């Protein structure tokens, strides 16, 4: 029979209240872990990489466009296409008539942001996987039902959240999750004997 905090068997209403309270504590624990990780290890902000009109490829045109006799420039077009193929944003320079004369730069702020987010998500995966696994293991080795109901599901949800964060690196996520599942099952079988 399930035992309460005072090691007394839980029955009826106390059993139901323990389950509800355990679910409530699990939700609060997940929120606490998420907020704590975000506070200690904040995610990169898009504005730190791509901050203005220039970063979005928006440059002001001349105040007065004097004609539409712009000629096609193969060199500029090829450079712009290469920039786009690399995931950048072409930044053009215009003449007084409003015609593109050259590609002044290929802005790669989005690429830098994506690369930083990939590292952040990989690190977040390991942080949440370790915390979740530790909560699962702790939940296996405590006896009050209330604590088990708080630790086991919150640990499982944090491990699932870890996997959701790291979709860029599927193979490493699969390997780490498989190892965590094997370890958790092994510990659970050892505890339940």
Q: How far is Cα 119 from Cα 136, in angstroms, rounded to an integer?
A: 26
Whether the pLDDT of residue 104 is over 90: the answer is no
Helix residue ranges, H only, 42-108:
74-85
Beta strands in 64-181 (DSSP E): 89-94, 100-107
Instruction: Check pLDDT > 90 for residue 40.
Output: yes
Asked whether residue 60 carries a pLDDT value surpassing 70, the answer given is no
Does the pLDDT at position 46 exceed 60? yes
Quick one: average pLDDT of 94-105?
79
Q: Tell me the backbone φ, ψ of residue 160, rounded to 5 degrees.
A: -65, -40
Query: Which residues is 92 bridged to in the sheet?
Result: 103
Tokens 């939700």 sit at which residue? 27
Contact 149, 26 (CB under 8 A): yes
Q: What is the pLDDT of residues 149-161, one digit of tens each?
A: 899 999 999 998 9
């Amino acid at each position: 029979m399930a035992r309460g905090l005072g090691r007394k068997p839980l029955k009826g209403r106390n059993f139901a209240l323990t389950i509800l309270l355990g679910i409530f504590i699990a939700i609060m624990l997940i929120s606490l872990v998420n907020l704590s990780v975000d506070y200690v290890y904040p995610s990169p902000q898009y504005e730190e990489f791509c901050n203005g009109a220039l970063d979005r490829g928006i440059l002001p045109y001349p105040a007065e466009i004097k004609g539409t006799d712009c000629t096609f420039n193969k060199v500029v077009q090829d450079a712009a296409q290469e920039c786009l193929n690399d995931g950048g944003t072409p930044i053009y320079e215009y003449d007084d008539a409003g015609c593109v004369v050259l590609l002044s730069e290929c802005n790669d702020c989005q690429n830098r942001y994506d690369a930083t987010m990939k590292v952040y998500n990989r690190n977040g995966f390991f942080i949440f996987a370790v915390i979740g696994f530790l909560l699962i293991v702790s939940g296996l080795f405590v006896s009050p039902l209330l604590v088990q109901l708080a630790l086991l599901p919150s640990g499982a949800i944090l491990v699932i959240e870890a996997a959701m964060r790291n979709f860029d690196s599927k193979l490493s996520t699969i390997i780490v999750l498989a190892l965590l599942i094997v370890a958790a099952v092994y510990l659970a079988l050892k505890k339940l004997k």
